[in-house]
């Protein structure tokens, strides 16, 4: 049940009944302060202006037309014409009960599943994943999880960089290694492999010649080169999938939809764009000039889609990918998780695809971009020697730090218990630190903050979850089939119950805008509201059975909400820590 939406609809109906235009907006929001009620409608002033009415008068008129007694116990007009709404606690209790009884918390599921392509992670072949891939991978995965939970068809598109001229030198080097080592090599250290290949290419003329020859052969579909290329892709992706697993990210090998799969389409796309007069020859290259973008000289900006030497570009592949995703995968919506520096690239690619009629206006295209991960010095996060930080090294350090922390708090754990808790806390902390920041800006990566058991962190939420669970364990009670009704009397009960009932409207922000920090802030609220409820409202030692049962139900709904919410973020919960 999405309360915000429900109240918006009701107020809007009343506004229209009071004579407001049909496109008026009730602007119902959660109130910032308890004295303004649980929700506040802010749309009266704008509507009154359009109608040339006194806003307070319109507000009164709207209130007279309101049919919301079932949900709301008190309505107040405040200030210039705000309408404050106080939820009816009996109705609220009913909403909590419905959520508790329903496997999916009575969330509003997709009435018609959409085909949604989520383009995320996208590391490059023959390179190890580094921290630069973390944000796309985990923010994209949170979106995927929520959209699937609500019933959409999600296609994970891991647009890996698996094509390009660098493969000539990589194949030549792989061949050299294979010849020298006799048996198959492991390529454990991809960074080192790439660096060595590049060094040979730069320093050894014979090697470089061979590498250039291999590029041509690979592009021409030569069997040997393709086999070598595939080997490089397989080794890289097998390692990446291991990292995804470690990160509790849902990407598998089958989700790899690298740049190479669009190769066959590129010549066709270029000639088609030319035939349609969208692309033109310029200095031997093929270029699309866009009036919407101006270069420094104020002339239309050119997007090259084929170089003078015949090579295609990143943009050409993305245009072909759009065509493919619409025609073959029947996408209704495509979400791109790449950093903000790629925004103009994507906008230009979308514009060209629209102009060529490869995709209709109805296809929803969204760039859910993000800022950078910074070190404590405010500069891009690097190792002490200034190198990019490998993702696995980062996770190793997180594991070490979490192990020391958990051990010190809990010296009696068995090794097996310890390993489970450490994994959940370490990976959870790194992911949550990222997911809890508004993705649109840069953020500072700080080990101490993210591993703290206080504040808006994964360990705090994971610990809060175990505390709720322990109430049931202590009393030897199951969370299923609790007796009685939810009774909301104490203000702490009401605050918790109200927030619990706002889960649906919270995850809407994630499904619409891909902003997981809103869900993080919500779960943090739930944990702190529960903690203060638990302090003021005895549960197991409540005055009477009815009260005890009611409070157990609020506790159970808290646990369920935390678990499902953290799971949507790809963060594990544990029963004990
Ligand atoms: N591989 C690219 C990179 O590392 C990201 C790909 C993003 N997706 C896309 N369709 N362009 O920057």
CA atoms within 13 A on the CB side of 291: 2
Rounded CA gap, 355 and 372, in Å? Answer: 32
In short, whether 319's Cβ falls inside 6 Å of ligand 1 is no
Three-state secondary structure call for residue 156:
strand
Please tell me if the CB atom of residue 132 comes closer than 6 angstroms to any atom of ligand 1.
Answer: no
Q: In the predicted model, is pLDDT for residue 184 greater than 80?
A: no
Report the alpha-carbon distance of residue 473 to residue 395 in Å, rounded: 32
Distance 509 CA to ligand 1 centre (A): 24
Q: pLDDT confidence of 187, banded at 50, 70, 90?
A: low
Residue nearest to atom 11 of ligand 1 (CA): 318
- Given a cut of 60, whether residue 315 has pLDDT beyond it is yes
For residue 66, report the distance from its CA to the centre of ligand 1, in Å.
50
376 or 531, higher pLDDT: 531
Q: Check whether 277 has a pLDDT greater than 80.
A: yes
Closest by CA to 157, choosing from 231, 254, 269, is 254
Give the separation between CA 104 and CA 81, rounded to whole angstroms: 37
Q: Please tell me the distance between residue 159's alpha carbon and the centre of ligand 1 in angstroms.
A: 6
Which of 72-76, 87-91, 186-190 comes out lowest in average pLDDT? Answer: 186-190
For 34-45, what is each residue's pLDDT tens digit? 899 999 999 999
DSSP structural state of residue 376 = T
pLDDT, position 182: 52
Mutate which of 159, 233, 258 for ligand 1? The one with the most ligand atoms within 8 Å of its CB, which is 159
444: three-class secondary structure by DSSP: strand
pLDDT at 183: 55
* 3-state class (DSSP) for residue 33: coil
Tokens found for residue 196: 């060595």
Mean pLDDT within 507-528:
97
CA atoms of 212 and 201, how far apart (whole Å):
9
Contact 28, 4 (CB under 8 A): yes
In angstroms, what is the span from residue 338 Cα to ligand 1's centroid? 7
Please give the mean pLDDT across all residues of the chain.
Answer: 94
In the chain, ranges of CATH 3.30.1360.70 domains = 3-87
Nearest C-alpha neighbor of 211 from the set 178, 203, 262, 234: 203
Kindly report the protein residue whose alpha carbon is nearest to atom 5 of ligand 1: 122
Q: What is the pLDDT of residue 185?
A: 55
Contact 288, 302 (CB under 8 A): yes
- Judge if the beta carbon of residue 318 lies within 6 A of ligand 1: yes
Say how many Å lie between the CA of residue 47 and the centre of ligand 1: 44
Ligand 1 centroid – CA 286 distance (Å): 22
Burial of 191 (0-12, 13-18, 19+ CB in 10 A): middle
Among positive and negative, which fits the CA dihedral 442, 448, 452, 454? Answer: negative
pLDDT digits (tens, 9 = 90+) for 90-106: 999 999 999 999 999 99
State the pLDDT at residue 114. Answer: 97
The pLDDT, as a whole number, for residue 190 is 82
Is residue 410 scored above 60 in pLDDT? yes
pLDDT in tens, 420-463: 999 999 999 999 999 999 999 998 989 989 899 999 999 999 99
User: 318 C-alpha to center of ligand 1: Å?
Assistant: 9
Which atom of ligand 1 approaches the CA of 346 most closely?
11
pLDDT at 387: 85
Residue 122 Cβ < 6 Å to ligand 1 = yes
- Bridge partners (DSSP) of residue 312 are 306
Question: How close is the Cα of 406 to the center of ligand 1, in Å?
Answer: 37
Inform me whether the pLDDT recorded for 523 exceeds 90: yes
Using pLDDT thresholds of 50, 70 and 90, give the confidence band for residue 262.
very high
Beta strands 153-157 and 364-367 are unpaired
The 10s digit of each residue's pLDDT in 391-406 is 999 999 999 999 999 9
| Rounded Cα distance, 87 and 91, in Å | 8
What backbone torsions phi and psi does residue 564 show, to the nearest 5 degrees? -65, -40
pTM summary value: 0.95
* Ligand 1 pocket member 137 (CB < 6 A): no
Q: Specify the 3-state DSSP secondary structure of 527.
A: helix
Q: What percent of the chain shows pLDDT beyond 90? A: 87
pLDDT tens, position by position, 122-171: 999 988 898 889 999 999 999 999 999 999 999 999 999 999 889 999 99
Query: Would the pLDDT of 2 be above 90?
Result: yes
Return the CATH number of 3-87, one of 3.40.50.2300, 1.10.569.10, 3.30.1360.70, 3.40.50.2000: 3.30.1360.70
| Confidence tier at 230 by pLDDT (50, 70, 90) | very high
Residue 181 pLDDT more than 80? no
pLDDT digits (tens, 9 = 90+) for 27-71: 999 999 989 999 999 999 999 999 999 999 999 999 999 999 999
Distance in angstroms (rounded) separating the CA atoms of residues 326 and 310: 26
Residue corresponding to tokens 């935390």? 562
Amino acid 40: pLDDT:
97
């Amino acid at each position: 049940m999405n309360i915000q939406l429900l109240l918006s609809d009701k107020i809007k109906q009343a506004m229209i009944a009071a004579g407001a235009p049909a496109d008026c907006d009730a602007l119902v929001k959660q109130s910032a302060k308890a004295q303004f009620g649980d929700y506040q409608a802010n749309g009266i002033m704008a509507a009154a202006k359009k109608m040339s009415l006194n806003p307070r008068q319109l507000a009164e008129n709207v209130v007279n037309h309101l049919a919301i007694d079932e949900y709301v116990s008190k309505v107040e007009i405040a200030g210039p014409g705000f309408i404050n709404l106080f939820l009816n606690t009996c109705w609220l209790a009913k909403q909590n009960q419905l959520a508790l009884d329903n496997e999916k918390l009575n969330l509003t599921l997709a009435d018609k599943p959409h085909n949604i392509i989520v383009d995320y992670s996208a590391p490059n072949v023959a390179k190890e994943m580094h921290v630069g891939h973390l944000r796309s991978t985990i923010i994209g995965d949170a979106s995927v999880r929520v959209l699937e939970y609500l019933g959409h068809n999600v296609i994970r598109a891991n647009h890996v960089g698996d094509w390009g001229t660098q493969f000539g030198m990589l194949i030549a080097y792989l061949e050299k290694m294979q010849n020298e080592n006799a048996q198959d090599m492991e390529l454990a250290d991809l960074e080192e492999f790439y660096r060595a290949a590049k060094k040979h290419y730069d320093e050894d003329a014979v090697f470089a010649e061979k590498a250039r020859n291999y590029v041509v052969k690979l592009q021409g579909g030569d069997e040997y080169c393709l086999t070598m290329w595939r080997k490089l892709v397989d080794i890289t992706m097998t390692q990446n999938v291991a990292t995804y697993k470690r990160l509790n990210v849902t990407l598998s090998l089958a989700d790899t939809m690298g740049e190479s799969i669009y190769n066959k389409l590129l010549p066709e796309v270029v000639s088609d764009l030319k035939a349609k007069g969208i692309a033109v020859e310029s200095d031997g290259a093929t270029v699309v000039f866009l009036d919407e973008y101006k270069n420094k000289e104020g002339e239309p900006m050119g997007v090259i889609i084929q170089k003078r030497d015949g090579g295609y570009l990143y943009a050409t592949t993305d245009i072909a990918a759009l065509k493919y995703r619409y025609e073959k995968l029947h996408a209704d919506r495509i979400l791109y998780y790449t950093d903000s520096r790629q925004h103009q690239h994507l906008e230009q690619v979308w514009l060209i695809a629209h102009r060529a009629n490869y995709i209709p206006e109805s296809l929803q295209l969204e760039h859910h971009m993000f800022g950078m991960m910074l070190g404590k010095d405010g500069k891009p996060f690097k190792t002490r020697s200034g190198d990019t930080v490998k993702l696995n090294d980062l996770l190793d350090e997180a594991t070490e730090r979490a192990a020391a922390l958990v051990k010190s708090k809990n010296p009696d754990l068995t090794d097996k218990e310890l390993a489970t808790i450490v994994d959940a806390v370490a990976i959870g902390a790194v992911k949550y630190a990222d997911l809890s920041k508004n993705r649109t800006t840069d953020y500072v990566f700080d080990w101490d903050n993210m591993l703290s058991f206080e504040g808006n962190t994964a360990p705090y939420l994971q610990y809060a979850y175990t505390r709720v669970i322990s109430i049931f364990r202590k009393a030897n009670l199951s969370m299923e089939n609790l007796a009685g009704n939810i009774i909301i009397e104490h203000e702490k009960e009401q605050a918790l119950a109200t927030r619990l009932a706002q889960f649906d409207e919270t995850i809407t922000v994630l499904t619409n805008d891909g902003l997981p920090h809103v869900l993080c802030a919500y779960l943090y609220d739930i944990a702190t509201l529960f903690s203060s409820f638990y302090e003021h409202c005895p549960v197991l030692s409540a005055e009477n059975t009815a009260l005890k049962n009611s409070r157990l139900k609020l506790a159970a709904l808290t646990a369920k909400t935390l678990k499902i919410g953290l799971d949507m973020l790809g963060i594990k919960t544990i029963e004990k820590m």
